[in-house]
Amino acid sequence: MAAHHHHHEPTGLSLIEAASQALVEAGEQWTGMRAEVFEALAGQEKPASAYDIAEDVSKARGKRVAANSVYRILDLFVANNLARRVESANAYVANPHPGCRHDCIFLICDICGRAVHIDDDKLTGALVQAAKDAGFADIRPVVELRGVCSECS
Q: What is the pLDDT along the chain (153 residues), one digit of tens a residue?
A: 444 444 444 445 688 999 999 999 999 999 999 999 999 999 999 999 999 999 999 999 999 999 999 999 999 999 998 999 999 989 999 988 886 777 889 999 999 999 988 888 899 999 999 999 999 998 888 899 999 999 999
pTM over the 0.85 mark: no
Would the CA dihedral through 39, 43, 46, 48 be positive or negative? Answer: negative
Do 90 and 83 meet the contact criterion of CB atoms below 8 Å apart? no
Q: Which domains does the chain have, with CATH numbers?
A: 12-94 (1.10.10.10), 104-147 (3.30.1490.190)
Q: How many Cα atoms are found within 13 Å in the side-chain-facing hemisphere of 51?
A: 2
Q: How far apart are CA 96 and CA 100, in angstroms?
A: 9
Do 118 and 105 meet the contact criterion of CB atoms below 8 Å apart? yes
